[in-house]
Amino acid sequence: MIERIIAWSATKAVNQLYGGKIDPSSVVVQKTKPDFEGDFTVIIFSLVRFSKKSPETTGDELGSYLLEDISFISSYNVIKGFLNLTIRNEYWIEFLTDHFCLPDYGFIPVDENQPVVVEYSSPNTNKPLHLGHVRNNLIGWALSEILKANGKRVYRVNLVNDRGIHICKTMLAYKKWHPEEIPSFAGIKGDKFVGQLYVQYEQAAKKEREGLVAAGLTEEEAYRQSPLTREALELLNRWEEGETGVRELWHTMNQWVYEGFDQTYRRLGITFDKIYYESDTYLLGKELVNEGVEKGAFFKKDDGSVWVDLGANNMDEKLLLRSDGTSVYITQDLGTAQLRFDEFNPGQLLYVVGNEQIYHFDVLKVVLKMLGREWADRIVHVSYGMVELPQGKMKSREGTVVDADDLMDEMYQTAKKTTAALGKLDNPDDHEWQELFEMLGMGALKYFILKVDPRKNMLFNPEESIDFNGNTGPFIQYTHARIRSLLRKAAAKGFSGTDLKTDQPVELHPKEKEVLRLLNDFPGIVAEAGKNLSPAIIANYCYELAREYNQFYQEIPVLREKDQNKLVLRLALSSFTGDVLRRAMGLLGISVPEKM
RNA sequence: GGUCUCGUAGCUCAGUUGGAUAGAGCAACAGCCUUCUAAGCUGUGGGUCGCAGGUUCGAGUCCUGCCGGGAUCACCA
């Protein structure tokens, strides 16, 4: 990368000229601001302590050194403490020629060592997927793609929460109020069907508790004495004992849910290499806890419950096993972490889980460390922010959730309406159009979510439909379609970017140079997104590249250009941009169309 | 209350390890299609980067305090 070469040379200069002892990481090289002359800028301020001269003089001395040292620098200027360097056009043209046909430009070949396990999605089987899950899935998917582009072998895994008290509640609701019914009968997706049962249970249970509280009980007493709660708990016991009838119903209802989930996943474009079920893993981790007790890392209370004291890490005591010997949430997470470590020997274990579980993962890592599992350091909690509505957080119980399927349907409709409004829709029933609407709708949705820094909470307003103009998925998809169209026309006229030759001197328009500079950034962007685990970096890069290309497209003729050398160069530039856009959007799980 | 996190234009968001005059989009207004796709491009207006200190050549970015929002601290998951 060009910045690195400059930084390296500047380092040499400081060390040779001034007897400094610095390494390239302490030299800041950035793009020159548009208002100044030059392409790249070296910040001089931090280097004057070695030269013991004014920033201007130092900049001047370094400038002439770099001019001498690096052949692709054509000139420099110094303003205050900024050394601005101008790159020769030949460099850019050579860069274009060398890279525009490379199918893997910016990506690193996959190394099988040190794989990365990425857990994401991890749904409960008592509620349909909503916008929050969508964010989780998209981040998990995109991160996996980005890590692959960074040369990692990636395993995508899902841990489905298919057991527990909440599932028993839906079973109870089914038995009580809807026996014999099946989703296909009711004409709805299986996950929706089961989700409704859960809501029905919660409403009934709430009413029941309110009645008991009105009769003078405290909230907690009311919860414990509620007949529905007792029945649900009883069902849980019978499930754990493996009672056939209970297990059968449980299995049937979960299948309904999976059929529904599969549809949603398919439409989102989400897949997994391995799916774990909590019904298989929930007993894991008990041996680890016992091991900790034996080692004296954990302790048993009189009632038989097992705890760990995290006081040394500035945390509280944490329960690891209940007094009746059953697991809690973290018990099984200890076990599954060990399982995955044994299965994959990963260099990194990523968990894409909401930021409400930060504490949980902090505890998990500390406890594993106390058990002598040094690989606990390889666990990374990719904690993403909540999707909020204008009224605040989404709450399943209050019905203030944005359903994933509904949202995707709306996106499709918006794509259709927008296309029709532009007068492009000649044949609405055509299969190709329908595919395009789906691509655009999903592109708009995915981009909308992924362009935001995953760590931050974000807002979604259902009243305002997701935009198709400006900094959006369809804008980038449009840019790609435009480029493809241009290339088709060029091919029809017998031109191709591959006709490009380096030995012919060609001037570069500032817009061309700007696009090239961005294309030159791509490998660095991929690396940065991998390092920061942030698809948003890719999304924002796509936007910047598309915007810059559109400016170029608007200002400069390509096929109408009379000078063939220029024409071919612009075709290569366009083709390169189209490929990078397609592949960068691919990292986000977004497809781009040939025409739109 | 303890811990963590966020606060940038009317709204939604960018802003690499501190660097030049803080950027986009949406919304508003004004322009550009006999010419490669106008889902585009150009221009105008819009900011005490929550507040107050500190660190230094330089702070939206780092430190401290305060204000405001959110999360979390369960024999729930």
Give the CA A47 to C1' B53 distance in Å.
29
Q: State pLDDT tens for residues A378-404.
A: 999 999 999 999 888 887 767 789 999
From the list A345, A346, A350, A366, the residue with the least C-alpha distance to A158 is: A350
pLDDT of residue A281: 93
| Residue A337 exposed, middle or buried by CB count within 10 Å (0-12, 13-18, 19+) | buried
CA–CA gap between residue A348 and residue A27 (Å, rounded)? 30
Q: State pLDDT tens for residues A194-218.
A: 999 999 998 999 899 888 888 888 8
Q: Give the whole-number percent of chain A exceeding pLDDT 70.
A: 99
- For β-strands A108-119 and A348-354, DSSP reports them as parallel
The ipTM (two decimal places) reads 0.96
Which class would CATH give A115-388? alpha beta
Q: State pLDDT tens for residues A25-72.
A: 889 999 999 888 999 999 999 899 888 889 999 999 999 999 999 999
pLDDT of residue A125: 95
In the numeric block, which tokens belong to residue A72? 């692709």
Nearest-CA residue relative to C1' of B32: A554
Give the CA A184 to C1' B8 distance in Å.
51
Length of chain A: 596
Residue A338's CB is within 10 A of a number of other CB atoms, namely 18
Closest nucleotide to A42: CA versus each C1': B19
Instruction: Report the pLDDT averaged over residues A271-283.
Output: 95
- Give the 3-state secondary structure of residue A389: strand
Q: What is the DSSP letter of A84?
A: E
CA–CA gap between residue A345 and residue A279 (Å, rounded)? 23
Give the CA A131 to C1' B54 distance in Å.
43
Nearest-CA residue relative to C1' of B33: A554
- Name the region of A359 (left: φ>0; alpha: ψ -120 to 50; beta: rest): alpha
CA–CA gap between residue A395 and residue A392 (Å, rounded)? 9
Residues of chain A with CATH 3.30.1360.70: 2-87
Give the CA A592 to C1' B41 distance in Å.
22
CA–CA gap between residue A103 and residue A517 (Å, rounded)? 19
Residues of chain A with CATH 3.40.50.620: 115-388
In strand B, the nucleotides that come within 7 Å of a protein beta carbon are 2-6, 11-17, 19-21, 24-27, 35-42, 57-58, 69-77
pLDDT of residue A271: 98
Q: Supply the angle between the helices A564-587 and A473-492 in degrees, to the nearest 10.
A: 140
- What is the CA A404 to chain-centroid distance, rounded? 17
Angle ∠(A527,A530,A531) on CA atoms, nearest 5: 85
CA–CA gap between residue A549 and residue A381 (Å, rounded)? 37
Q: Which fold has domain A2-87?
A: Gyrase A; domain 2 (3.30.1360)
Return the H-helix or E-strand segment holding A335: helix A329-344
Give the CA A492 to C1' B1 distance in Å.
73
Residue A529's CB is within 10 A of a number of other CB atoms, namely 27
Instruction: Report the pLDDT averaged over residues A306-315.
Output: 89
Q: State pLDDT tens for residues A82-109.
A: 999 999 999 999 999 999 999 999 999 9
pLDDT of residue A198: 93
Q: Give the whole-number percent of chain A exceeding pLDDT 90.
A: 81
Instruction: Report the pLDDT averaged over residues A282-309.
Output: 93
Summary mean pLDDT of chain A? 93
pLDDT of residue A465: 87
Closest nucleotide to A475: CA versus each C1': B39
pLDDT of residue A561: 92
Closest nucleotide to A55: CA versus each C1': B57
For tokens 């940065």, name the residue: A528
Q: What is the pTM of this model?
A: 0.96
From the list A161, A168, A114, the residue with the least C-alpha distance to A133 is: A161
Return the H-helix or E-strand segment holding A82: strand A82-87
Q: What is the DSSP letter of A203?
A: H
Does nucleic acid strand B have an atom less than 7 angstroms from the CB of A165?
yes
| Residue A168 exposed, middle or buried by CB count within 10 Å (0-12, 13-18, 19+) | buried
* Phi, psi (rounded to 5 degrees) for A80: 50, -125
Give the CA A463 to C1' B25 distance in Å.
18
pLDDT of residue A336: 96
Most confident of A52-61, A182-191, A405-414: A405-414
Q: Which fold has domain A404-587?
A: Isoleucyl-tRNA Synthetase; Domain 1 (1.10.730)
CA–CA gap between residue A499 and residue A506 (Å, rounded)? 14
Does nucleic acid strand B have an atom less than 7 angstroms from the CB of A380?
no
pLDDT band at A180; cut points 50, 70, 90: confident
pLDDT band at A278; cut points 50, 70, 90: very high
Residues of chain A with CATH 1.10.730.10: 404-587
CA–CA gap between residue A494 and residue A52 (Å, rounded)? 60
- For the cut 70, the answer to whether the pLDDT of residue A502 exceeds it is no
- Among A36-50, A427-441, A499-513, A540-554, the range scoring the smallest mean pLDDT is A499-513
